[in-house]
Amino acid sequence: MRHRIIVLGAGYAGAFAAGRLARRLRREDVAITLVNAEPDFVERVRMHQLAAGQDLKPRPFSGMFAGTGVELRLAKVTGVDVDRKTVAVIDANGAEELAYDTLVYALGSGWNAQGVPGTTEHAYEIAGRPGALRLRERLARLDAGQTVVVVGGGLTGLEAATEIAETRPDLDVALAARGGLGDWLSPKGRGHLRKVVGRLGITVYEHAAVTGVEADRVATADGKAIPAAVTVWATGFAVHPIAKATTLEVTGAGQIVVDGTMRSVSHPDVYAVGDAAMVMGPGDKPLRMSCASGTPVAWQAADAIAARLTGGKLPNVPIRYFAQCVSLGRKEGLIQYVTADDRTVQAVHTGRLAAVYKELVCKGAAWGVANPTFGLPTRRRRVTRERAAAGSAVNAPA
């Protein structure tokens, strides 16, 4: 009997975990199923490029997982029963339940409307491909001189505003930030950001908390009404709601609480990776929702599962940050170096060199998903018969 591993979600974390598991374990010992609603990999870090009108290289999972033994199941996850150890899915053929011995939960996150009135009705988002394509179509229909307001002064908002302004210099692009522009960056980083934003002609509204979105404007807490033919909402992410509906221990935001091996503290046969997991990093601070967090977390989870299945040594690799990489259009970038716990330091790279650096980071992240064997021995380890047959044995403390 093969040990059944189901991975839910094929973003950076889920796809990486599935591929790494397949290459760490022998396929006669384990059956790995990757459940995802779309047939190809979405480079989430490039959604602002897609929305601005650029075409992205297709990355079908059929090619990425060819010969690995990973079975791709194209379906939408509708529920998880962690007590019965089943997953409910629906596809073109109808609804079905899938049973597992070990579950890797990687359903990730989507946009967060923050409860602001009018947002879901009137704003556009770029947290995923459907939203980015919808915004792309709307921007293509805008006439010269019309205003696009990006709400959110974080990394996503900055990348969206600068990409749109560079691609469509005929539009009036504005950015509304709750705080100061780039106020978390080092002085040199803030200075470069202001220079680029000014050169692109972006109007910045600082300390402008948006309290409402209408079809043609956004309202701020200080009484301003900012004209907006299109409003792009980029104020952070909200995790997929399915975990919160289970008996898993989750945070108030719905993230699954895990230990250092990414295993659920309440259900040892469930692992959570990516934005779905509450992972504590250096300084006992939660890791932020990002590709930079998701990939090493997936690495840790896959290696821990493989170790428990084969009786090997559990991984104990510290997860830390090195830099925040921001694209400011195709020609400019900002690499802000940070401490292990994500606090900015003085060192930065800017300009064209930083743009090339960020592009290499994006390509490297996609390459890592397609090649999760980096650093692995070529020989897969054998799963013991007892551990393959009994999930309780696999998930007992090692």
Question: pLDDT tens, 296-349?
Answer: 999 999 999 999 999 999 988 888 999 999 999 999 999 999 999 999 999 999
DSSP 118-185: THHHHEEE-SSHHHHHHHHHHHHTPPTT-EEEEE--SHHHHHHHHHHHHH-TTSEEEEE-SSSTTTTS
**Topology of domain 3-110+237-320+382-394, CATH:** FAD/NAD(P)-binding domain (3.50.50)
- The answer to whether the CB of 336 falls within 8 A of the CB of 154 is no
Residues of the chain by 3-state class (helix, strand, coil), percent to 5: 30, 30, 40
Q: Amino acid identity, residue 288?
A: R
Spatial CB neighbours of 204, under 8 Å, sequence gap ≥ 6: 174, 175, 177, 181, 197
pLDDT surpassing 90 at residue 371? no
Query: Residue 195 — pLDDT band, cuts 50, 70, 90?
Result: very high
Q: What is the mean pLDDT of residues 73-89?
A: 97
Over its C-alpha atoms, the chain yields an Rg (Å, rounded) of 22
Looking at domain 113-233, which CATH architecture does it have? 3-Layer(bba) Sandwich (3.50)
- Looking up tokens 């879901």 gives 120
At 357, the pLDDT band (50, 70, 90 cuts) reads: very high
DSSP class of residue 108? -
The pLDDT, as a whole number, for residue 398 is: 44
Given a cut of 50, whether residue 397 has pLDDT beyond it is no
Separation between Cα atoms, residue 160 and residue 182, nearest integer Å? 14
Does residue 377 carry a pLDDT above 80?
A: no
**Does the pLDDT value for residue 231 go beyond 70?**
yes
At 388 the pLDDT is 53
Residue 248, pLDDT > 80, answer yes
Q: What is the mean pLDDT of the chain?
A: 92
Do the Cβ atoms of 387 and 309 come closer than 8 Å?
yes
Render pLDDT for 11-47 as a digit per residue (tens, 0 to 9): 999 999 999 999 899 999 999 999 999 999 999 999 9
- Whole-angstrom CA distances from 362 to 42, 174, 193, 304, 344 are 12, 26, 20, 26, 21
- Domains 3-110+237-320+382-394 and 113-233 alike in fold: yes
Q: Phi/psi at 79 (nearest 5 deg)? A: -175, 160
Reduced to 3 states (helix: H, G, I; strand: E, B; else coil), residue 40 is strand
Residue 42, exposed/middle/buried by CB under 10 A (0-12, 13-18, 19+)? buried
Determine if the pTM surpasses 0.95: no
**Which pLDDT score, from 0 to 100, does residue 380 have?**
58
Tell me the C-alpha distance between 277 and 282, whole Å: 16
- Element holding 327 (H helix, E strand): strand 323-327
In the chain, domain spans: 3-110+237-320+382-394, 113-233
Burial class from Cβ neighbours inside 10 Å (0-12, 13-18, 19+) for residue 260 reads: middle
Over residues 271-292, the mean pLDDT reads 91
